[in-house]
Structure 1
């Protein structure tokens, strides 16, 4: 009889409470989230200003620039990227009513794009050294430069909030593994049934490799488990769209539930919703409801978690999304590598800077939950074209 091998155990904490506590009040305007973001980021940016430029230049509010003349000054504001190709509801209505046909685009940058800075009272067009190709709307920054008059600001230098302080990576006495899965697309599960069976057999130790399998502490499923492409919407007489729940979608949930049932008997599993999963569409996405998974929900090893998701395993902090913020950054900038987009998020100290401009989110008023309060040891994004990793070091 073969020797029984126990799976490694770690101390798990779910740190995603701020992504699960959003209210259902949609009466507020979205400007509130920008004001909250700017207010919180201003504290961080002032520290960066002191480190980089000291007290050599005054820090001026945008609406005060025209009142006094400064050779050089520093302003703290939000970036706004004016893009003529950016989708809008007016363009969509024009296309729907066949007034003006719109080209189908998946990337919305153009040579005519312009950068502006704005705060709660004023907006200025930016000139100078700040290259907007790799930037998106919603980034808080500090700019050193000169007011050129007529609503234009010449940028000489700039700084972003940068990486937050990171606690030292905990030391582990042995290797511990976390499996990341995404884009399982169970609506087409018949195409990869052998792969699913092979995965279960490997995790159970039936294929050998006991040394590695026993050190797998957790599986994080990062969205789009039901389908990777949205169902086609049917336009109604009111020019609104609706999706009738198809039998394929119902069957995909049942099949996914059975897959989770097998996983949860072997290891702890965290299930995040994705863009095309049965959850709310805008960020943060609430955990998918347990009633959809009657077989696997009886196991304590199944954890329905929100998107974004933040957790710690023996004090190792893991933070990430199902991929929507990374995709949106790449659509509205010249960033082509998802790893670059993730690294920029750390430099900007914001997980989803393009929300709510081009990425849907709740209309937060007092606080922006997407600001990175604790620098994670692992930052991930699901549903990318290929698996890739990078080690980055926080720099000023």
Structure 2
């Protein structure tokens, strides 16, 4: 018989994603204000980092006042803008639609001609010097130490980012307890994964014995997006403002199938369901939880939690933060950072989950606060819908330790990630048939 959920260990849980929910949908606001809000929040963090790294030896100067001073060397704070000629453009897409100028298809948009700028509310300077453009993207807040070269150029001799934020002490657990991560079920193409999903559900339910009893010690399942599908069907380009793509019957069927699967899972384990890029939720970030009306059967169980993307929670004193993959995939396309894990580590150094929003990643026009700023360093940071499983532990300047997890698409790899809460060990498990 499947093990009842009440027989599993119950740990204190708190959903910390309120800042990602119920965003004001006021699209009359200018998107440029997001950068002003972000910079205002990040300045407080950066000033502390400046004192720690450079002390009070150098003055801090506003960019728009730089030309009026005669500092031989000073510190400026601003937001990175990366000028990239290969960056997607609406004008280019319209030209292509009208067969005026055919555009090559790109998935990676870096080029040797890319140029870095630093900007604040009033001024922009071109940055030259020791700041490498290869591992930076638009939207990062940083501080530069250097000098004004005139003609709108700033020579950066050194730099600092906000860095890893304060981390609460990791709790001590005396037994092995696990969290299972999965993403990219792609239920529209259930024929590819039916047996593997059935094997996973039976294993979690206790119908398949486990020599190490790992399945009975899993206390939570996090589904990190793209449950219904992992990609949209290609449709003919159009510039019509009224046309829209009607959801295909197979998408509706995939939602019903997801409800059926969640019904089984929710009877034996706590489940958090995040929306993904191709799931029935709002497209721009942060994505709101998928509506409960889509899951009439499984929503009867309190163990099923519809959560946002990004998603932050605390479990037994351990803080989790992650997304269904859009921020990481977007960053990978606009810089030379080699892997999803390095992107996650960079996001911790930048103290921001999605710096490329709104430049190349859609988001709401925030004008009060930027919810993507990382105010507290997590113990576990994850990204869903990646090509391969990968994991490592990174350490911050003040000893913060964070387990990074790249969760693979289940439809392609039949692989999940399992995290041991006792020691933060993480390993893959395959359900390939």
TM-score, length-normalised on structure 1? 0.97
SS at match of 1:389: strand
Native 8 Å contact 2:94 2:239 kept in 1: no
The equivalent of 1:44 in structure 2 is 45
Q: Determine the C-alpha separation between the residues in 2 that align with 1:269 and 1:261.
A: 10
CA deviation string 1:309-357 (max 9, x = no partner):
0011111111100000000110000112000000000000000000000
Question: Who is 2:154 aligned against?
Answer: 153
Equivalent position of 1:183 in the other structure: 184
* Corresponding residue of 1:279: 281
- Structure 2 distance, partners of 1:381, 1:236, is 32
CA-to-partner distance for each residue in 1:138-165, whole Å, 9 max, x for gaps?
Answer: 0000000010000000010000000001
**Cα deviations across residues 119-147 of structure 1 (Å, max 9, x unaligned)?**
00000001101001000000000000010
- Equivalence for 2:201: 200
Match of 2:290 in 1: 288
Residue in structure 1 matched with residue 29 of structure 2 by the alignment: 28
CA distance in 1, matches of 2:238, 2:207: 52
Q: Secondary structure at the match of 2:48?
A: helix
* 1:392 paired to 2:399: no
> Residue 171 of structure 2: SS of its match in structure 1?
coil
Q: Is the 8 A contact 2:2 2:268 kept in 1?
A: no
Determine the structure 2 residue equivalent to 1:99: 100
Structure 1 window deviating more from structure 2 (253-262 vs 145-154): it is: 253-262
Q: Retained in 1: the 8 A contact 2:3–2:268?
A: no
Q: How does 1:245-284 map to 2 (within 5 A)?
A: 245-284=247-286
The answer to whether 1:116 aligns with 2:106 is no
Q: CA deviation at 1:295?
A: 1.3
Greater mean alpha carbon deviation, residues 345-354 or residues 21-30: 21-30
- Partner of 1:231: helix, strand, or coil? coil
- Which ranges of structure 1 fall in alignment gaps of 5 or more residues? none
**1:184-223 deviations in whole A, cap 9, x for unaligned?**
0000011221111111111111221273222111000000
Query: What is the aligned partner in structure 2 of residue 212 from structure 1?
Result: 214
SS in 2 for 1:124: strand
Determine if contact 2:95/2:102 at 8 Å carries over to the other structure.
yes
- The Cα of 1:236 is off from its aligned counterpart by 4.7
Coordinate RMSD, CA, aligned: 1.6
Match of 2:74? 73
Compared with structure 1, are the counterparts of its residues 56 and 187 closer, same or farther at alpha carbon in structure 2 (3 Å cutoff)?
same
Asked if 2 retains the 8 angstrom alpha-carbon contact of 1:231 and 1:243, the reply is no
Distance across 1 between alignment mates of 2:31 and 2:246: 30
The alpha-carbon deviation at position 8 of structure 1 amounts to 1.4
Q: Distance in 2 between matches of 1:356 and 1:339?
A: 22
Q: How big is the shift at 1:69?
A: 1.4
CA contact (8 A) 2:97 2:238 kept: no
* Aligned-residue offset at 1:6: 2.4
- Write out per-residue CA displacement over residues 44-85 of structure 1, whole angstroms, 9 at most, x where no aligned residue: 111111111111111000011111111100000000000000
Deviations 1:276-333 (A, max 9, x none): 0000000000000111111111111111000000011111111100000000110000
Matched, 1:142 2:143: yes
Q: Distance in 2 between matches of 1:159 and 1:40?
A: 16
User: Counterpart of 1:298?
Assistant: 300
* C-alpha spacing 1:166/1:226, structure 2 compared with 1 (3 Å): same
| Alignment partner, residue 382 of structure 1 | 384
SS of the equivalent of 2:394 reads coil
Q: Which residue number corresponds to residue 316 of structure 1?
A: 318
Mean alpha-carbon deviation: is it higher for 211-220 or for 129-138?
A: 211-220
Q: Provide closer, same or farther for how the CA distance between residues 103 and 300 of structure 1 changes in structure 2, counting only shifts above 3 A.
A: same
Displacement after TM superposition at 1:21 (Å): 2.4
Determine which of 228, 231, 234 is the counterpart of 1:232: 234
Check the 8 A contact 1:80/1:116 in 2, yes or no.
Answer: yes
**1:77 aligns to what SS in structure 2?**
strand
C-alpha separation between the residues in 1 aligned to 2:101 and 2:236?
Answer: 20
8 A contact 1:223–1:383 mirrored in 2: yes
Q: In the aligned structure 2, how far is the partner of 1:131 from the partner of 1:9?
A: 47
Shift of 1:239: 6.1
Q: 1:236 to 1:103 in 2, by over 3 A?
A: closer
CA drift at 1:234: 4.0
- SS of 2:36's equivalent? helix
For structure 2, the 5+ residue unaligned runs are 399-433
Contact 2:2 2:205 in 1 (8 A): no
Could you say if the C-alpha distance between residues 298 and 2 of structure 1 is closer, same or farther in structure 2, counting changes exceeding 3 Å?
Answer: closer
Of the structure 1 ranges 226-235 and 34-43, higher mean CA displacement relative to structure 2 is found in 226-235
Cα offset for 1:2? 12
